[in-house]
Amino acid sequence: MIDWKSEWKVLAWMAAAFAIFFWLPVGWPRFDGAVTEALALTKWYAREHVLLCLVPAFFIAGAIASFVSQAAVMKYLGPKAPKVVAYGVASVSGTILAVCSCTVLPLFAGIHTMGAGLGPATAFLYSGPAINVLAIILTSSVLGAKLGAARAVGAVLFAVVVGWLMATIFRRSEQERVNAAMELPEPDGVRSLGQVAAFFAAQVAILVFANWARPDDPTGVWFAVWQAKWWLTSAGAVALAVILVRWYSLAAWKAVAIGAPTAILALARPEHPELAFTAGVVGLAVVTARDEGELGQWFASSWGYAKQILPLLLGGVLVAGLLLGRPGQEGLIPSGWVEGAVGGNGLAATLFASIAGALMYFATLTEVPILQGLIGAGMGPGPSLALLLAGPALSLPNMIVIASVIGWRKTSVYIGLVVVMSTVTGLIYGTFIA
């Protein structure tokens, strides 16, 4: 006889799945279009962000876990670290990390796992995609200096305030980190601070320059950097190879074995630099995966973050595409609803802009042209700033991954703080400043 007390959940899931597929609205144009957009967005995300953004971020996160002592992380970013130092470093990190809300996640997971306090970790999580220099400059040039300045000031203050509030709200759970930190030894000092800094600087350079977006203005420094982005990325890769050989016990012949095919592909197919980039990544992965020492641990840590984060991100992007579509394309939720809801400058419009921004996925710098279109459709200055403050820092895929790192309770509070603060700031800006 079947024990239905233990089997009813299985039956419920089967019944729910059957009902979903039975009434699946296949043939309804909006549903069919939304499915197409979900697949198209996921395809674009896999092509444009996984290789160039996430893979370098996974290696950086793995390096944090493998080569940065827990005591060092606790010293500068832990719960008992000087608040000025911890929040100062975390809140301005985005000025050098031109990354989206998803790319910052492995880095956030890495520093949190290694003992960073919840406050500095969430400040870093917010600031990474929100404060990069290119985004601020693009906002100022396209949407006006006043809105650009408001975004810059608001994002820095947000990072500090959100981090401080998270640490305050969850101070009891954070106390365990303080107690653990009291028992940790000082950093062992196997490598100098300069050596560790150079190691991470080379990886950050690869991440930043490989993802450097083309500016609208075909003149100036930013355009020159874009033109030379792959030369700069290559310089970062060469620097990383030298550092690994000199200080991290990588055999020179292995570095040559990685670099030779990468250089050949770069010279043979300059129109497709991603091929050379892929060759370099695959070579580094193979060499480190087969190492039985600290380089092997580096790969293992990086692979662990990839397994944890990548499936959730791809699933989240698929759902986001189904619901919201892509810029200029329709999902299940009509874009006209969004445009109509953010018109004007009132509380409802500003709150809706904050919530919509928190759910939508923005690749780095894409929020500006999207917002430009919404402003042209009647969006007020207050909702505009609210979307700029909430959008780049959050997304539906981003929320799912954050919850896997710190739990849904803390994630919900973090989302709520970002939405509320974005709304209040947007109201103040729209009413008294704009």
Over the chain, what HEC string results?
CCCHHHHHHHHHHHHHHHHHHHCCCCCCHHHHHHHHHHHHHHHHHHHHHHHHHHHHHHHHHHHHHHHCCHHHHHHHHCCCCCHHHHHHHHHCHHHCCCCCCCCHHHHHHHHHHCCCCHHHHHHHHHHHHHCCHHHHHHHHHHHCHHHHHHHHHHHHHHHHHHHHHHHHHCHHHHHHHHHHHHCCCCCCCCCCHHHHHHHHHHHHHHHHHHCCCCCCCCCHHHHHHHHCHHHHHHHHHHHHHHHHHHHCCCCHHHHHHHHHHHHHHHHHCCCCHHHHHHHHHHHHHHHHHCCCCHHHHHHHHHHHHHHHHHHHHHHHHHHHHHHHCCCCCCCCCCHHHHHHHCEECCHHHHHHHHHHHHHCCCCCCCHHHHHHHHHHCCECHHHHHHHHHHCCCCCHHHHHHHHHHHCHHHHHHHHHHHHHHHHHHHHHHHHHHC
Q: What is the pLDDT of residue 187?
A: 47
Domain assignment present for residue 378? The answer is yes
Domain assignment present for residue 279? The answer is no
Average pLDDT over residues 206-234: 86
Structural domain harbouring 222: 33-249+293-433
- Specify the range with the lowest mean pLDDT, choosing from 91-105, 116-130, 387-401: 91-105
Domain assignment present for residue 24? The answer is no
Domain assignment present for residue 20? The answer is no
Query: Is pLDDT at 96 greater than 80 in this prediction?
Result: no
Q: What is the pLDDT of residue 206?
A: 92
Number of structural domains, the chain? 1
Domain assignment present for residue 270? The answer is no
Average pLDDT over residues 77-93: 77
Domain assignment present for residue 255? The answer is no
Q: What is the pLDDT of residue 307?
A: 86
Query: Is pLDDT at 168 greater than 60 in this prediction?
Result: yes
Query: Is pLDDT at 186 greater than 60 in this prediction?
Result: no
